[in-house]
Every structure is written in structure tokens, then in C-alpha cells.
Amino acid sequence: MSLTREDVEKVSLLARLKLTDDELGLMTIQLGQIVGYVAQLNELDTEEIEPMAHAVEVTNVFRPDELRESLPREAALANAPKADGECYLVPAVLGE
């Protein structure tokens, strides 16, 4: 199945990327090539095969439910492009 420019544009919104016209064109070709290459996996019958999400399948790793110090707010906000000392700040989306 081939990828269209419209598909790529839609994915760019899902991926939260703003692509230029040139990038959309190039990405359509390149993603198409890669997806075409990946299609060889269909040569294999995997009907009865359990998917393997992890190499070491450990489950339910718990730690004791104890209070511990967490990152101080100041440190957590230190790398934010915009903050007011208590919260991260973002462009307004409500009440426009």
C-alpha cells in the first residue's frame, strides 16, 4: 500500500510536527520506501506467534510504598522555557 502526501500531512499533525511543503514531499517518498521495505515481514506466517514486547519479560516490579523526597519544584521547573515559579506556562487556548 502506498503512502500519499495527505497521509503524511495527517500523520504530521498526530506527531505534532509542522512540516514544510518540501519536507512533506520528501517524507512521502522516503516513508514510502521504508514502509515498502518493511512489507517483507508479511512473508512470514506469524498467526500462532506470541508478540514479544520486551527482551526480558519481567512483570509487576513493585517497590515499597514509602514516602520519599521528590524533585523540588524549583528544579523541576528549571529547564522550562516559560514558567511562573509554580506552573509551566503555555499559549492560551481557552477564551480566545
Binder to another protein among 21, 46, 67, 69 (CB under 8 A)? 46
- 25 touches another protein by CB under 8 A: no
Q: Is 8 exposed, middle or buried (0-12, 13-18, 19+ CB in 10 A)?
A: buried
CB of 83 to another protein, least distance (A): 9
CB of 69 to another protein, least distance (A): 11
CB of 65 to another protein, least distance (A): 13
The site for another protein (CB under 8 A) is made up of 3, 7-8, 11-19, 23, 27, 30-31, 33-35, 37-38, 40-42, 44, 46, 49-56, 58, 61, 63, 71, 75-76, 78-82, 88, 90-93, 96
